[in-house]
C-alpha cells in the first residue's frame, strides 16, 4: 500500500511566531482537556501559566526532568533558597512537568507511543498559551555505535529501523509518512556549544529510533532472540554506514511531530555504551548518572547563551 506523505504540506518551515497546530478541529472546540497532563483550557489560564515559555526540554524520566529544572534554574540565577519546583501535572502520574522562567521540562516515558501522546498535548498547550519562538529539545540516553561510552550525539536525522528518515504511522488503517529532518542550524549551534564547554566528546550523527530495546536494537540478551552475534554485528555495521551513531526509542515521533507543527527541535542524547562491544548496560550507577547530566549541560549552555547569560570564550 502506498504511504501518504504528510508533513511537507503541514508546516514546512519553522515559524518565528506562534506555535501552530496541524488540526483544524481544535479551533472549533470550546474546551480542550489535555487529559494525560491533567490540564484543561476550561480550568487553567494557559497564557498566564505558560505564555512566556521559549525553551522546552523533554526526557524519559520524571526524576531526570525535575533535576534538569533545578539545574537550569540555578544556572539562570532564577532559583531562591528553599525553592521547590512543584509538578504542574500533579494529579496524574503519567507525565511530570516543571517550569522555571522561560524553560519548561517534561517527562515523556519510554518509546514512541508514550512520547507521542505527551507531544500532542504539549504542542496544544504551547498553542493555547500563545507561546512564540519556541525551541524544543529531547535530552536522553541511548546506545552508541562505535562511540566511547559517555559521548554525546546531536542528531542530524532520526532514522527508522530500516535507516529511512521518516516516521510512518498507521492512520485510519493506512500508512502516513512524515519527515524526521531536524533543524540544521540548531545542530550547528549545539555543536558550537559543545566546543565552548569542552567537557565531553560530542558528535553529530544520525539517530536510529526503534520500537523495542532488545530485538529491535539487535541485542542478544532479551527474552527472545532470533539471530546470531554475526547477524547483529552486520546490522549495526550497516547502521553505522547509514550515518547512525546512536540508537534510542523516541526521536522519530519527536522529530516528525515538532517538524509538522513548525517547532524548532533538536535531539541530544548521551551514549551509555558502545553496542559494537556489548549489550548490557554495566557501568556503575554513579558513572551513568554523570553521563545523564551531559545532554542537560549542553542544552543548558545553549539556553544561557540565547538568554545572554553564558560566559562564552572570545
CB–CB of 139/153 below 8 Å? Answer: no
Rounded least distance, CB 52 to ligand URA, Å:
32
**Cell, residue 236:** 549495526
> Could you tell me which residues are beta bridge partners of residue 204?
154
143 marked among binding-site residues: no
- Selected from 213, 214, 235, 240, the binder of ligand URA by CB under 6 A is 213
Instruction: Judge whether 207 is annotated as a binding position.
Output: no
Is residue 17 within 8 Å of 133, Cβ to Cβ?
A: yes
**Site map for ligand URA, 156-195, x if CB under 6 A?**
----------------------------------------
- Per CB under 6 A, the list member of 143, 146, 262, 295 interacting with ligand URA is 143
Q: How far is the CB of 269 from ligand URA (least distance, A)?
A: 8
Give the nearer residue to ligand URA in terms of CB position, either 124 or 219: 219
Q: Is 210 annotated as a binding residue?
A: no
Binding part of the chain for ligand URA, among 9-17, 50-58, 221-229, 241-249 by CB under 6 A, reads 241-249
Where do we find the cell 534510542? Answer: 248
Complete DSSP assignment for 255-304: HHHHHHTT-EEEEEEEEEEETTT-SS--S-HHHHHHHHHHHHHHHHHHHH
CB 27 within 8 A of CB 33: no
Q: DSSP class of residue 18?
A: B
Q: Which of 217, 251, 293, 296 binds ligand URA (CB under 6 A)?
A: 217
Rounded distance, CA 111 to CA 118, Å? 11
Q: Binding site annotation covers 217?
A: yes
Scanning residues 59 to 118, which ones bind ligand URA (CB under 6 A)? none
Residue with nearest beta carbon to ligand URA: 143
Contact with ligand URA (CB under 6 A) among 145, 153, 247, 263 = 247
Specify whether the CB–CB gap between 65 and 105 falls below 8 A: yes
Q: Which residues of 117-130 are buried (b: 16+ CB within 10 A; e: fewer)?
A: bbbbbbbbbbbbbe
Q: Which residues face 138 on adjacent strands?
A: 58, 267
Q: Is 248 in the site for ligand URA (CB under 6 A)?
A: yes
Q: How far is the CB of 155 from ligand URA (least distance, A)?
A: 13
Which residues line the annotated binding site for substrate? 217, 219
- Give the footprint of ligand URA on this chain (CB under 6 A): 141-143, 213, 217, 247-249, 272
Amino acid at each position: 500500500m502506498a504511504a501518504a506523505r504528510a508533513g511537507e504540506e503541514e508546516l514546512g518551515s519553522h515559524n518565528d511566531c506562534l506555535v501552530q497546530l496541524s488540526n483544524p478541529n481544535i479551533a472549533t472546540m470550546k474546551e480542550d482537556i489535555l487529559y494525560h497532563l491533567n490540564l484543561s483550557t476550561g480550568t487553567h489560564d494557559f497564557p498566564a501559566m505558560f505564555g512566556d515559555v521559549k525553551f522546552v526540554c523533554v526526557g524519559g524520566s520524571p526524576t531526570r526532568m525535575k533535576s534538569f529544572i533545578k539545574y537550569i534554574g540555578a544556572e539562570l540565577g532564577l532559583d531562591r533558597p528553599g525553592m521547590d519546583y512543584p509538578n504542574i501535572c500533579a494529579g496524574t502520574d503519567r507525565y511530570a512537568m516543571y517550569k522555571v522562567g522561560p524553560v519548561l521540562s517534561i517527562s515523556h516515558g519510554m518509546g514512541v507511543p508514550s512520547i507521542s501522546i505527551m507531544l500532542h498535548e504539549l504542542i496544544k498547550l504551547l498553542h493555547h498559551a500563545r507561546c512564540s519562538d519556541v525551541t524544543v529539545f529531547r535530552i536522553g540516553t541511548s546506545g552508541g555505535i562505535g562511540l566511547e561510552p559517555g559521548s554525546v550525539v546531536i542528531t542530524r536525522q532520526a532514522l527508522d529501523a530500516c535507516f529511512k528518515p521518516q516516521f510512518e504511522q498507521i492512520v485510519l488503517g493506512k500508512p502516513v509518512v512524515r519527515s524526521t529532518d531536524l533543524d540544521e542550524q540548531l545542530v550547528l549551534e549545539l555543536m558550537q556549544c559543545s566546543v565552548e564547554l569542552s567537557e565531553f566528546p560530542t558528535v553529530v550523527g544520525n539517530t536510529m529510533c526503534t520500537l523495542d530495546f532488545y530485538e529491535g536494537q539487535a541485542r542478544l540478551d532479551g527474552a527472545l532472540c532470533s539471530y546470531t552475534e554475526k547477524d547483529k554485528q552486520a546490522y549495526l555495521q550497516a547502521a553505522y554506514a547509514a550515518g547512525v551513531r546512536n540508537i534510542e526509542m523516541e526521536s522519530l515521533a519527536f522529530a516528525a511531530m515538532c517538524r509538522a507543527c513548525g517547532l524548532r527541535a533538536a535531539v541530544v542524547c548521551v551514549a551509555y555504551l558502545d553496542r559494537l562491544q556489548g549489550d548490557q548496560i554495566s557501568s556503575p550507577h554513579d558513572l551513568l548518572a554523570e553521563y545523564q547530566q551531559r545532554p542537560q549541560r549542553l542544552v543548558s549552555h545553549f539556553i544561557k547563551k540565547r538568554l545572554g547569560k553564558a560566559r562564552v570564550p572570545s
